[in-house]
Amino acid sequence: MKYEFNSPTEREYDLIAIGRACIDLNATEYNRPMEETMTFTKYVGGSPANIAIGGCRLGLKAGFIGKIADDQHGRFIEKYMRNTGIDTSNIVVDQEGHKTGLAFTEIKSPDECSILMYRQDVADLYLTPSEVDEEYIRKAKLLLVSGTALSKSPSREAVLKAVSLARKNDVKVVFELDYRPYSWATPEETAVYYALVAEQSDVVIGTRDEYDALENQTADDEQGEQANEQTIRYLFQHSPELIVIKHGVKGSYAYTNTGETFSGRAYKTKVLKTFGAGDSYASAFLYALLRGKDIETALRFGSASASIVVSKHSSSDAMPTATEIEQLIAENEAKQYR
């Protein structure tokens, strides 16, 4: 039985994302530690925000549910997202003095990149269940949830409400795991809430390490295939119909609840930094599915998009167009057959 991705056809938005929108300050000076870095360039960041931005660049109609600070950074985020084409009508402005999350990035080398996060009392984690609107969610084909929003209350409960409303209104739930260890009190807490949302999702996307966090286990590289089998056996007892597990430069795998397995290779590129790959992968993979492409093509789109973004300085600004993705895929396929 062949898998088909069937999302509601008559909806105002292809995708509505919920969760984190923050500021990325990326080191302008490469090949040096952050202690010696003096200049940074400002971008919009946060996994669900990046995925919504990436979707818009590809031609999807996207909306966003979240909370931003009542400050200069918050206004920058809202304006940037609105100018990108994202509907920002359900972005709430915090009135209790919470600040915008900041992520400083260090680019020491293509293999050595790190992120210094400031996430104490950030506005996005104060989104409340009462600020999640059922009528808005009903307008979407997909609800995109990311893991960081589950790390603290009341954002946690707001996301759980959004997932419940999506399921009630025949909106596909996509869970992008987005695991950030520093956001969580304990691995056990992570596993509880990740499992709660993953079991109610239609599509789950993450790295092998992120699935290990979901299952509160550790699998080494040699156990990758065996660990994947364990993951899909567990999740296919619940709601998921499609599971994507990424293995970095080794490529990615997609598993369907109809028993099919697909693999996609990673595309070689001149890597500048490692962050942003997961968000760009998710936006392009979902774009391909929503446009009726098969899973193998969706895997290629995800990998190509990730390859483009890691070769550039930003995440949000670097999100590619469909033409850029198709061109990279075509160039790589041409090289294969030379």
pLDDT tens string, the chain, 338 residues long: the values are: 567 788 877 899 999 999 999 999 998 888 888 899 999 999 999 999 999 999 999 999 999 999 999 999 999 999 999 999 999 999 999 999 999 999 998 877 777 788 889 999 999 999 999 999 999 999 999 999 999 999 999 999 999 999 999 999 999 999 999 999 989 999 999 999 999 999 999 999 999 999 999 999 976 656 668 999 999 999 999 999 999 999 988 999 999 999 999 999 998 887 777 777 899 999 999 999 999 999 999 999 999 999 999 888 778 998 999 999 999 999 988 776 55
pLDDT at 169: 97
Distances (CA, A) of 256 to 1, 103, 232: 10, 35, 9
Beta strands at 252-256 and 261-264: parallel, antiparallel or unpaired:
antiparallel
- In sequence order, what are the residues at sequence separation of 6 or more whose Cβ sits closer than 8 angstroms to the Cβ of residue 247? 207, 208, 224, 253
Backbone angles phi, psi at 50, to 5 degrees: -60, -40
Q: What does the pLDDT read at residue 220? A: 64
Distances (CA, A) of 282 to 72, 182, 300, 302: 29, 22, 11, 6
Token pair recorded at residue 235: 């999740």
- Contact status, residue 302 vs residue 278, Cβ threshold 8 Å: no
* Cα 304 to Cα 243: distance, rounded to the nearest angstrom: 19
DSSP characters over 292-309: T--HHHHHHHHHHHHHHH
pLDDT for the residue 85:
98
Q: Which fold has domain 13-20+47-99+121-336?
A: UDP-N-acetylmuramoyl-L-alanine:D-glutamate ligase (3.40.1190)
Q: What is the DSSP string of 190-215?
A: HHHHHHHHHTT-SEEEEEHHHHHHHH
pLDDT of the residue at 118: 92
**Percent of the chain that is helix, strand, coil (3-state, to 5):** 40, 25, 35
- pLDDT, residue 248, reads 87
pLDDT of residue 72: 97
The reply to whether the predicted model has a pTM over 0.85 is yes
The amino acid sitting at 65 is I
Q: What is the pLDDT of residue 219?
A: 64
Q: Which residue ranges make up each domain of the chain?
A: 13-20+47-99+121-336
Q: Which helix (H) or strand (E) holds 84?
A: helix 72-84
